Chain A
Amino acid sequence: MSKHTISVKINGTTYEGTVEARTLLVHWLRDDLHLTGTHIGCDTTSCGACTILVDGKATKSCTMFAVQADGRELMTVEGLEQGGKLHPLQEGFHECHALQCGYCTPGMMMTGLALLRSNPNPGEEEIRVGISGNLCRCTGYVNIVKAIKYAAEKMRETQQTPVATGEGGGD
């Protein structure tokens, strides 16, 4: 199996690694870099537990090879909190009881972030469409919708301008 050296900026830090061509990005993040906040739930790109941002775009990291991330900028759940301050999405999920077992939560928040960057003031239906690629088995989505609304409001209040790329910070 051919091996490749890759260099990827994740949450503002550059990581170098040697991976097999077939190594899935999610396995590299979890098993090699120990960024275990990104989860695996299905293997068929259905559940979204592994969602991260790749160059600012919500991406299911179980369906991308680590080599494809070479030279790109990633953001994972570990990059949400900045300088000891929770991201409005993290705050919203806590305030609105939008998580129970917590397993889908990182992917759900990353999808929520991509959504809010493209649509800072989404209505309920837009949020439901936006997170429809992320499965949650615990919450029935009601409070997740509320949490994303909460974050949207908070982000608008603090006049945080959405940034175009996926590096940590800026939100």
Chain B
Amino acid sequence: MATEARHVHGLGEAYKRKEDARFIRGQGNYVDDVHLPGMLYGDIVRSPYAHALIKHIDISEALKVPGVLAVITGKDLDAAGLAWMPTLSNDTEAVLALDRVHYQMQEVAFVVATSRYAAADGVAAVEVDYEPLPVLVNPKKALDPDAPLLRPDKKDRQPTNHIYHWETGDRAGTDAAFAEAEANGIVVSQDMYVPRIHPAPIETCGCVADYHAATGKLTVWMTSQAPHAHRTLFAIVAGLPEHRIRIISPDVGGGFGNKVPIYPGYVCAVVASITTGKPVKWIEDRTENLSSTGFGRDYHIHAEIASDKDGNVKALRVHTLADHGAFDAAAQPTKFPAGLFHICTGSYDFKKAFVEVDAVHTNKAPGGIAYRCSFRVTEASYLIERTMDTLAHRLGKDPAELRMQNFIKPEAFPYRSALDWTYDSGNYEAALKLAMKNVDYEGLRREQAEKRVRGELMGIGISSFTEIVGAGPGKHFDIAGIQMFDSCEVRVHPTGKVLARIGVQTQGQGHETTFAQIIAAELGMSPDDVDVEHGDTDTAPYGLGTYASRSTPVAGAATALAARKVRDKAKKIASYLLEVGEEDLEWEPGRFYVKGSPDKGKTIQELAFAAYTNCPPYLEPGLEAVNYYDPPNLTYPFGSYICIVDIDRGTGQVHIRRFMAVDDCGTIINPMVVEGQIHGGLTQGLAPAMYEELAYDENGNVLSGSFQDYLIPTSMETPSWELDRTITPSPHHPIGAKGVGESPTVGAPQGIVNAVVDALAHTGVRHIDMPLTPWKVWQVLKEKGLATD
């Protein structure tokens, strides 16, 4: 057989991205690039107060502004039953505020005009009379008797600011293990805050809503990570027939979880289009994006580990206070209000664990979403990796040694955790050993000891994280009740070229290339002959979207299985054409041939042609298949990161000297894309560790509402990441892949914080909260008498 047919650029090949062609020419099609004839622009009047009553809204001056056509207020929406909308977490959120605003920058009115500028003029001309109310910023005071009640709208079902209490694990067994450790072993505890941060994709959120009264069809170009789920939600919330709603998520300029929820601006644009009969564009600016749309994290965590005197861990106990802001708009599966936070036993063999989370309202923007993270895995991984270091320091043991000692052993998989997850596969020792070898860990420890003698501060931080990604299974995971499966439809055209449509959507992950490679591998053809479409609900099969690293684990599986269905049918056609039984056929990439007669065969292209021109009479003509995949389990990517830092004693500046990341995401489809994902993910792990925080003052004013205050790492702060890998395929995924987009964001922050704490551990420092700004570190240096002039 010709080698040409065998080499298909399938799995494992750094195939260059197909989607690049349009992006490098400036020919991407992002939402704000959509221009429709007669299109109007919407802009939002927002509250300057974090908590206030709305006494009156005067739109008369705004309506006099040239170009302003309409101003929609909460009362207008209320008349249509649209003033409130459901969140993804069983709460309701104001689309436009009625009588009260709950956070600074909350949506109050929507101005519709003929241009962006006229709309902004209209916003400036709307007069709102507010009566400020006491502001609640600190979640720890949310349940105080004198705390203002933030949500009187739901006081019948929730009489205080307490949203939920959630717990899981064996409380009694865990308490008993702690009692035993108190008596005969060791108990360490660590308080830590995982600050409120924002995904801040460079493209903000926005949409163009286009309603045609004659056909009743609503088309919405929308920055959406989950177009089908959004279509269903629009149908339910707006009462529109779902088959007449088309969501198009075109090119999306980064998502990272920010584009999972439905925001008031989308709903207002839809209402405005229905009202005016014209297409309406709404694009938020950066301040609106940072101040009002889905934030991540904001967990106040208290973690405790019980171990014996040798450091063999026994039990983990965690209590967390979650700040959801004014509305609980967390994007979580219904069953799990704190997401997959109970993966917090991490890579270690804890026999007992108990976790509880209490969530409260404050006068801050609603959320929180899973920012580049599979539903609170980042917080979980941070707490266990930080607390393991606290235990190591207490024992005077090397953190690497303590980890090796307590890792779940490779032979223990599939492993049932104390909090009831079944880890599919892993080899944690191998990843940590490789990372240690790559950085010469022993040598670094020697260097550190020498430096300490000289008074220099150098730290080595380890993070041996375990992820849990790829939701479903559908019986446990959902979005607003819709089960988390995913899908792919593969159509082979008569000439052997393929169009594939997937239920997930890309915001830069490279699906158009990697999913083509999956099909290429299954059908033995070039990825160039496979086009992958996504993001259009009128054409793509139903899927739940791209977040929580679920594209490859779920839709990737659906893609492989749909392609296999196609191949199975091609085999039947080959059997007919070659006049042999199917059992007498062998497959090699791109071709079926008769066993023992390799020259007697048919290529997949020939079989595709036959499917339309000479199909066996007992088969349906055509060659296509669709697969809806409900995964049997999640996947559990893992890795070990080692970060080496030097601290300037004069300024508190932390310099990351090296960062070695060993990742294991199972089978790799495209190493180039995986490497790119890890580079980006590590940078989004560096960001909260060192720079980013969505901070508020005591009046609820957003202190980091622009890129001048919300400090995204630039090329100057970002180190040259060093990468390596181990490969432990997922046993239950059709191609063994696990997903990788979020591992580095989950794993990196604690590597950096552990390194900084390690540099100072000899002075008794056990923890510093993120972000590790020079000011914060310098204060610790000063307190410990380490600061120099």
Q: A: which residues have CB within 8 A of B?
A: 20, 22-23, 27, 30-31, 34-44, 46-47, 49, 76-78, 80-81, 86, 90, 93-95, 97, 99-106, 109, 124, 127-129, 131-145
Contacts and interface: CB of A to CB of B under 8 A. Distances in A.
Contact of B202 (A38, A104, A142): A104
A103 B26 contact: no
A81 B286 contact: no
A102 B252 CA distance: 9
B483 interface: no
A35 B256 CA distance: 27
6 contacts: A102-B19, A102-B24, A131-B714, A136-B715, A140-B680, A141-B683
B718 A137 contact: no
Nearest to B283: A40
Contacts of A76: 26
A97 B708 contact: no
A43 B284 CA distance: 11
B509 interface: yes
A141 B495 CA distance: 41
B285 A139 contact: no
Contacts of B720: 124, 142
A93 B253 CA distance: 17
Interface string B272-297: 00000000000001110000000000
A90 B116 contact: no
B435 interface: no
A94 B187 CA distance: 53
B23 A97 contact: no
Given A76-B26, A140-B718, 12 more contacts: A37-B26, A42-B707, A90-B25, A95-B16, A100-B254, A105-B24, A135-B202, A137-B201, A140-B679, A140-B681, A141-B683, A144-B715
Nearest to B200: A137
Interface string B1-45: 000000000000000110111111111101011010000000000
B285 A43 contact: yes
B754 interface: no
B33 A36 contact: yes
A36 B286 CA distance: 18
A140 B714 CA distance: 8
Given A41-B203, A132-B716, A139 B707 contact: no
Across chains A and B, which 3 residue pairs bring their CB atoms closest together, nearest first?
Answer: A37-B26, A103-B253, A101-B508
A42 B253 CA distance: 13
Contact of B254 (A27, A80, A103): A103
Residue from B27, B202, B684, B720 whose CB has the most chain A CB atoms within 10 Å: B202
A132 B718 CA distance: 10
Interface in B45-103: none
A76 B26 CA distance: 9
Contacts of B32: 30, 36, 39-40
A124 B675 CA distance: 19
B707 A39 contact: no
Contacts of B716: 128-129, 132
A132 B716 CA distance: 6
Contact of B684 (A47, A104, A137): A137
A47 B285 CA distance: 13
Contacts of A143: 676, 679
Nearest to A105: B23
A156 to B, nearest CB: 20
Interface of B: 16-17, 19-28, 30, 32-33, 35, 116-117, 200-204, 251-254, 256, 285-287, 507-510, 672-673, 675-677, 679-684, 706-708, 712, 714-716, 718, 720-721
B509 A103 contact: no
Residue from A36, A80, A101, A127 whose CB has the most chain B CB atoms within 10 Å: A101
Given A34-B35, A140-B721, A39 B30 contact: yes
Contacts of B117: 20, 22-23
A3 to B, nearest CB: 12
A42 to B, nearest CB: 4
Given A42-B707, A49-B202, A86 B679 contact: no
A37 B333 CA distance: 37
Contacts of B25: 37, 77-78, 80-81, 90
Contacts of B708: 44, 46
Contact of A41 (B202, B287, B672): B202
B615 to A, nearest CB: 40
Given A23-B117, A103-B201, A132-B714, A46 B707 contact: yes
B254 A138 contact: yes
B253 A101 contact: yes
Nearest to A108: B715
A142 B721 contact: yes
A31 B35 contact: yes
Nearest to B675: A97
B37 to A, nearest CB: 13
A46 B28 CA distance: 22
A47 B707 contact: yes
A124 B718 CA distance: 12
A89 to B, nearest CB: 8
Contact of A37 (B27, B116, B253, B673): B27
Contact of B286 (A42, A127, A139): A42
Nearest to B66: A1
A131 B714 CA distance: 8
Contacts of A90: 24-25
B504 to A, nearest CB: 15
Contacts of A99: 20, 23-24, 508
A22 B677 CA distance: 40
B677 to A, nearest CB: 8
A27 B116 contact: yes
A107 to B, nearest CB: 9
A5 to B, nearest CB: 18
